[in-house]
């Protein structure tokens, strides 16, 4: 499958938007057709795992931080102050490695949306956010069972206290759905849809710029279209950061809810 | 209103000539737009109200700004999910 640079040009001369397969599917680099097929998505996921790891290993251990160590310590402090303390409290510091890894992986993976030659957010393929969301589901259920016991966790998550007896017929199925199905689903879909929407938005304005560049008099609109492309690139950098933050924050909120039920 | 009505009648005229598969594709393409548009209304109002109240809270109590901000992002994330599910429905209707 080749990616046509001038997909914007259709036979009739009008603007033709490239199909969704051209936007999110990539040819295999290695092992084509096998289970271990290695394409751009796999490369990006390996990179977004390796880059934070290398950053953390390469940063110094000086008393007075400088350069890379500032970035690394800043990210740890950000997770401590903005994610763990408001959502779990001081006893949540043992989840710092998990939350920091999730934040860095999601954030760096999202940032590939605006890095030239990659131009593809990792999380615009459902497999990645879905795996992360299932991981989060396993983690918060395990934490709940560890801190309250199996019966206690099920009781506190399915039977919220202080309701008339009859209402539990209605409330318990709803609580079950919302805790064990809708939570991971919405966590995955939020990240996926945000990144796919941003990717399609950037592609739309990129395609529009190409089409306007090749047109005769409509080229006067090109500066506006290009300006929107630049502005949206900045917006997408913000969205990348915010989605990583929100994913880590929601993970922390779910863990905190499983740790102490009557919040 | 008349513009929508004339567009709808045009769509019906087009649909009469189309084969069943094309009719289905046309219906999916036009309803995809409606799906996302309708899904964006509620969350739009919700996020606007939420951020407005958060700004008000931060202006009244600047020392609580950090906590308000974190809670605000949490609220935005929950509210936004509805619009994003609408976007996924749009993608499914349009491309799947």
Element (H, E) at B79: helix B65-95
Which residues of chain A neighbour B66 with C-beta distances below 8 Å? 81-82
Query: What is the per-residue pLDDT across A69-108, written as a single tens digit (0 to 9) for each?
Result: 999 999 999 999 999 998 998 999 999 999 999 999 999 9
Phi/psi-derived region of residue B28, left when phi > 0, alpha when psi is between -120 and 50, beta in every other case: alpha
Contact (CB, 8 A) for B18 and B26: yes
Cα torsion A256, A262, A138, A84 to 10°: value is 0
Rg of chain B's alpha carbons, rounded to an integer?
A: 20
pLDDT of residue B54: 96
Query: What is the per-residue pLDDT across A240-249, written as a single tens digit (0 to 9) for each?
Result: 999 999 999 9
Contact (CB, 8 A) for A160 and A173: no
pLDDT of residue A7: 46
Domain boundaries, chain B: 29-95
pLDDT of residue A246: 94
Q: What percent of chain A has pLDDT over 70?
A: 94
Element (H, E) at A15: none
Decide which of B13 and A254 is more confident: A254
Could you please state the CATH topology (level 3) that the domain comprising B29-95 is classified under.
F1FO ATP Synthase (1.20.20)
Partner-chain contact A197 B95, CB within 8 Å = no
Average pLDDT estimate for A1-27:
65
**Alpha-carbon distances of A71 from A59, A76, A81, A261, rounded to whole Å:** 9, 9, 15, 35
> Rounded distance, CA B61 to CA B50, Å?
16
Q: Check the CA dihedral A193-A194-A195-A196 and report its sign.
A: positive
**Residue A178 DSSP one-character state:** I
pLDDT at A22 over 90: no
Predicted TM-score (pTM) above 0.90: no
The ipTM of this complex is 0.74
Query: What is the per-residue pLDDT across A101-128, written as a single tens digit (0 to 9) for each?
Result: 999 999 999 999 999 989 999 999 999 9
Which residues of chain B neighbour A79 with C-beta distances below 8 Å? none
Partner-chain contact A249 B80, CB within 8 Å = no
pLDDT of residue B5: 67
pLDDT at A260 over 60: yes
pLDDT of residue B4: 67
pLDDT at A207 over 80: yes
> Rounded distance, CA A114 to CA A121, Å?
8
pLDDT at A1 over 50: no
pLDDT of residue A137: 96
pLDDT at B1 over 70: no
DSSP calls for A52-95? HHHHHHHS---SS--THHHHHHHHHHHIIIIIIHHHT-GGGGGG
Which residues of chain B neighbour A92 with C-beta distances below 8 Å? none
Partner-chain contact A189 B84, CB within 8 Å = yes
**Helix H segments across chain A?**
20-24, 40-58, 68-78, 85-87, 96-111, 127-158, 168-176, 183-213, 222-259
pLDDT of residue A164: 87
Average pLDDT estimate for A47-57:
94
pLDDT at A159 over 50: yes
Tokens of A118: 């990659």
Domain boundaries, chain A: 20-259
Average pLDDT estimate for A141-160:
91
pLDDT-derived band at A191, boundaries 50, 70, 90: very high
pLDDT at A236 over 90: yes
> Rounded distance, CA A101 to CA A108, Å?
10
Average pLDDT estimate for A196-203:
92
pLDDT-derived band at B14, boundaries 50, 70, 90: low
Write down the mean pLDDT value for chain B: 85
Which of A14-18, A34-38, A194-198, B20-24 has maximum average pLDDT? A194-198
Q: Check if B41 contacts A (Cβ < 8 Å).
A: no
> Rounded distance, CA A192 to CA A51, Å?
21
The residues near B20 (Cβ < 8 Å, ≥ 6 apart) are none
pLDDT of residue A241: 95
Q: What percent of chain B has pLDDT over 70?
A: 83
Q: Which of A81, A86, A189 sits opposite B88 (nearest CB)?
A: A189
The residues near A180 (Cβ < 8 Å, ≥ 6 apart) are A137, A141
């Amino acid at each position: 499958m080749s990616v046509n640079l001038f997909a914007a040009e259709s036979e009739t001369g009008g603007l033709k938007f490239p199909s969704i397969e051209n936007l999110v599917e990539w040819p295999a680099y290695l092992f084509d057709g096998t289970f271990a097929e290695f394409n751009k998505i796999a490369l990006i996921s390996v990179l977004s795992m390796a880059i934070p790891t290398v950053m953390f290993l390469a940063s110094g251990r000086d008393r007075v931080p400088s350069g890379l160590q500032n970035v690394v310590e800043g990210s740890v402090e950000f997770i401590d102050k903005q994610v763990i303390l408001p959502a779990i409290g001081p006893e949540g510091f043992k989840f710092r490695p998990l939350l920091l890894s999730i934040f860095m992986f999601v954030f760096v993976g999202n940032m590939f949306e605006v890095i030239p030659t990659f131009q593809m957010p990792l999380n615009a393929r459902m497999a990645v956010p879905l795996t992360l969301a299932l991981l989060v589901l396993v983690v918060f259920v395990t934490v709940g069972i560890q801190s309250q016991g199996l019966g206690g966790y099920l009781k506190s998550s399915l039977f919220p206290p202080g309701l008339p007896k009859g209402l539990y017929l209605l409330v318990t199925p709803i609580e079950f759905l919302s805790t064990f199905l809708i939570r991971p689903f919405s966590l995955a879909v939020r990240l996926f849809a945000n990144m796919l929407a941003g990717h399609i938005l950037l592609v739309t304005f990129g395609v529009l710029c190409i089409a306007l560049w090749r047109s005769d008099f409509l080229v006067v609109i090109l500066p506006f279209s290009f300006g929107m492309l630049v502005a949206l690139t900045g917006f997408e950098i913000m969205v990348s950061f915010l989605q990583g933050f929100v994913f880590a924050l929601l993970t922390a909120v779910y863990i905190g809810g499983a740790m102490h039920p009557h919040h | 209103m008349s513009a929508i009505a004339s567009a709808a009648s045009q769509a019906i005229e087009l649909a009469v000539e189309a084969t069943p598969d094309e009719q289905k594709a046309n219906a999916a393409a036009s309803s995809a737009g409606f799906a996302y548009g309708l899904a964006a209304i509620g969350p739009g109002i919700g996020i606007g109200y939420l951020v407005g109240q958060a700004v008000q809270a931060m202006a009244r109590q600047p020392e609580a700004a950090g906590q308000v901000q974190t809670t605000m992002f949490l609220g935005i994330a929950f509210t936004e999910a509805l619009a994003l599910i609408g976007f996924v429905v749009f993608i499914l209707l349009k491309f799947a």
